[in-house]
Chains A and B, each alone.
Chain A
Amino acid sequence: MKAIIKTLVLLFIPLFSFSQKESNWSITEMPLELAIGANEVIRLSDQHFEVKSLKEGRYYHKEVVTILNEESDANVLVVYYDLDSKIKNLEARIYDAKGTLIRKVAKDEIKDYPAVDGYSLYQDDRLQFIEINQASYPYTIVWEYEKTMEGIDFILYPDWMIQGFNQGIETSSYTLTVPKEIQPQFEWHNMELDGSKTDEGKSIVYHWEVENLKPVKKEAYGPPSIEILPMLLISPSDFLVENISGSMSSWKDFGQFIYSLFEGKDQLPDEVTAEIRERIAGISDTKEKVEILYRFLQEKMRYVSVQLGIGGWQPFDANYVAKNSYGDCKALTNYMMALLKKAGITSHPVLIKNGSLNYQITKDFTNPSFNHVILYVPEIDYWLECTSNNYPANYIGKGNMARTALMITKEGGVLKRTPAVEPQAHKENIKASIQINSNGTANISYQSELTGSRHEFFRYAASNYSPKEKEEWLQENSALTKMNINKLEINCQKDRAEAQFNYSVQVMKYGSAAGKRMFIPLNQISVYGEAPSKLDNRLYPVYHRRAYSEVLDIEIELPQGFSVEALPFPEETLESEFASYKLQIKEENGKVYLHREVEFRPHILPASDYDKFRKFYRDISRREKAKLVLVEKKT
């Protein structure tokens, strides 16, 4: 959906500013503390957004930015546009450190490209792009452009992304002019400015300004930008897009608008109606019916995305989808809804942000930051991911789970939470037996059972990989090296989010001999070897996002004539709020048994616990890499 493109636009456009003082951009004029730890300093930024009517507006953006080093991305300006929104007067000037004008950027340096999202066959979004390269730092760029806006681009109202990571702000301001019949909605994050509100007769003018913001450091495992960077999100109340009126005054209203885009698009061709009637004939159980129809969708359909104008939000009708056997998330969801309707089952499209989640939706502020649509069947509490060709019914993938989404009903939008991610529902059970020969060669047989998010890749591979590609995947992704694969199989449960992955391989040189000793890695079957790196002073909380569990059992049969000289870490239990790790190693009758249980839980730790967080993973990693020392028995 367009919203994702919007979000990207706003994150990537360097922030702009309007200023009367076309003054001195020498770096000596810049407060030094803004540059410490920064890649760039926004010297001045001004944005004006003038809402002209329900359907159109004008946006003006100016920014003066001093680029301090090559890590900075602010040497690139990207402005998106489409058939409804046009860019005007895009200009850039470059100044040296002393503030002397080096040159004006020429017209032919402005590149114009289609904005390719990587999954759409076709979309009408385009972008203009300027990249400035100067061999010596620092230097200053002045960007300036205007946009006339209509359509989806307009009704999402440009937000004020006040500060980026590792960016100092000297001054920044935003001016919003809105006709009185529209009541804009605001949501502040990590800052709240008073600003001014002026009555200009037909319109209200809002104005905010901020000065001297020190850089905010970006840290690994840190909070998402929305939780630490200052920003002001803005939404309209009423709007008009391609002659369809809508409102974002509330989620209910916005849902109503989306409902109107889906309405009347559920006509199916007669042969499809006939076929589904036949498939569900004699079945009374709703779950069973839904599963049959979901299979029917999966057999027939293919995901193809075409986004044109309001088509970013409005689905192709069900008839079109039936005819072509393809559609995007909206179209396939709408088609599935039409199939269910024919079977007398009510369902609702649900707008959602798929993938990693930065912004969390709140009930009082309508900010449609969605990029995807799924389907919900209330009668049986089922969720359906209609773009998947192989998920079981009621499994929507980790990318859709544990988030608030907008369900579209006839009565309007309703916020609804998708199922939570419980570590125990995303599980892997592995059993491996390793038989080691006296030359160091090992025969390994591996069996694992996976559920939930852990099984998703295997389901994908089972239907998309050739036998050769599966083998190549194992060779590239296993810690085992130099192996001959004797057997490899992936099986998926059709109706449950479960898979089995089994293989048996021969690994040359699994054990390395040194004189009368042999060193054997305890675990190359499933290794947690990575640990976060050392940090001197952690500023922000640690976001631990992993959520799954694993049980591993390895049985190692020692080579003839060898006995254990040293057994590392016989028993360990590591416990913390975000993870548990339990390891047992024992030797019995010429065999070594390893039993390990891990569980990772989503959790937020205070910054002061970073060392604790790191140490936990280090402790795991050390145990995981341990070696078993064997020595030849004295005869």
Chain B
Amino acid sequence: MGNWSRFNIASIVLGFGFLYLPIVLLVIFSFNESKLVTVWAGFSTKWYAQLWHNQALLDAAWVTIRVALISATCATVLGTLAALALVRYTRFRGRMLFSGMVYAPLVMPEVITGLSLLLLFVAIGLDRGFWTITLAHITFTMCFVAVVVQSRLLSFDQSIEEAALDLGATPVRTFFAITLPVIAPAVFSGWVLAFTLSLDDLVISSFTTGPGATTLPMKIYSQVRLGVTPEINAICTILIGIVAIGVVVASVVTKQREAQRERDERAAFAQ
């Protein structure tokens, strides 16, 4: 640590301050005794206790988690299949179009995605609610999964699949015994990405929702319009906590795995 110049320190403080000051404030005020969000009146956890009695909020959280679980799982299956098709069949008709269409939602404004899905659901006469939100989430998270899995497949040594075929495994067995286990980490990160995207989506959910299906972000947003309460701060803090734990665990596990692998490789070549 040789370069703790003033400039570097200032850069770090500014950068982190810019990123985290709002979040830190939110967390601090979630422990505020007072009902007034901007006036500190001593430490308390009463807002967390109160959360458990707010049935509407709990219902919204339950809807959100179910939507996220189902949509992330479906999106992972579809996204993985799309990635496989794009990487493996490099010369089918309309590949460019297909690949462009898979990635378009990545850059499409959410408002447009939401609106177009709403129009579709209305046109086919689908009752809007839990399942329309789930379908919409599958649509927009699938392309993220496809991107993650595709980048893994590009560095995948296809000869290991050929080796499996050569040793007598049918193509289906080869996929489940060889391909899937090898790309599993990428498929899993795709799933986590889809899950978090679905968890905090507001715009598309708002467009495609119906009576009785309110997700947590929608609930929070509608409550904030009536004024920010410490209760909202509390639930946001819990969300931040969950996401942070997930990110930290994932990165620690990856780091350890990589370190283990490097040690193994060094050991192998030192013999």
**Do A and B originate from a single complex?**
no
